[in-house]
Amino acid sequence: MYDDLKKDCWEQNLRLAKTGLVIQTFGNVSCADRERGVMAIKPSGVAYDTMRPEDIVCVRLDDGEVVEGRLRPSCDTPTHLVLYRAFPCIGGLVHTHSVYATSWAQAAKPVPLYGTTHADHLAADIPCTDFMPTERVNGDYEVETGRQIVDCFRRQGLDAAEIPMVLVAGHGPFAWGKTAAQAVDHAEVLEMLCRMALLTREINPAAPRLRDDLIRRHYERKHGAGRTYGQKED
C-alpha cells in the first residue's frame, strides 16, 4: 500500500549513509504522507548496507500504530511523531549522531551564525534545547525528546519552516524539510555549519556574528518571495 513512501524513505536513508554522517545502524530518516496520515521510517538497529525497501516500517501519524512492515520501527519513532504533529510544514525528518553537530549538542551551545553559508539556510543561530529534566527522562523518553524540541521552538518564538534544524542538549541533531531529501540536505549542511563555526572561533576567538543586513540578504536570496537562487521551476 505504501510502496512509494517506503521507497523514498529507503533511498533517503541510503543517501544519508553515503554522506558519512552515520555509521553502523546509527541515525534514521523518515518521510510523511500527510494526506494518508502515515509516515515511513527506518527499522530499528538495521545496518544501512543490508536494508531493503521492504524493511521500512509505516506508522500512523496520529496514534503511532504500525500499518505496514514486519520489523520494529526505529526506537526514535515517538520523537519523529511529536515533531510531525507540532510542525505541520515538515515532510521529512533526519536524526543523526554526526560528529560536529553532536559535539555542539554535547557542549549544549547554540551554533552562532558566522557567515553566509549559514544564512543561506537559516537566518538565526542553530538552536540548542535545554537538558531534559529528570522527571521527563524517567517518563516517556522518546516522546519527551520531541517535546524538548517543540518547547525550545515555542519559548524562543522560532518557526520550524524557517529553522530546519536543532540540537538536543547532550544528545545530537535533528533536521527536517518539506521532503526527506531536503531533510537529508539540511542534516549535511548542519554538520558543515557546526564544523565551520568551531574552526572560525579557533582562527579568531573574537570573530563577529554576521551583520543582520547580510543575513537577511542571503536568506532572502534563497527563500524570499523574489528569490534568485535555483531554477524557476524549483
The answer to the question of residue 8 lying near a second copy (CB under 8 A) is no
Strand partners, 60: 38
CA-based end-to-end distance of the chain:
29
C-alpha to C-alpha distance for 74 and 16, rounded to whole angstroms: 15
Give min distance, CB of 211 to a second copy, in A: 7
Closer residue to a second copy (CB): 67 or 192: 192
Q: Using CB atoms within 10 Å of the CB of residue 172, give its burial: 0 to 12 exposed, 13 to 18 middle, 19+ buried.
A: buried
Judged by CB under 8 A, the number of residues near a second copy is 62
C-alpha to C-alpha distance for 107 and 183, rounded to whole angstroms: 23
How many CA atoms are closer than 13 Å to the CA of 107, on its beta-carbon side? Answer: 12
Give min distance, CB of 2 to a second copy, in A: 20
| Span from 7-15, 33-41, 93-101, 154-162 in contact with a second copy (CB under 8 A) | 93-101
Catalytic residue positions? 120, 229
Interface residue list for a second copy (CB under 8 A): 23-26, 43-46, 71-72, 75, 97, 99-100, 102-109, 114-117, 131-132, 134, 137-138, 141, 170-172, 185, 188-189, 192, 195-196, 198-204, 207-208, 210-211, 213-214, 217, 221, 228-232, 234
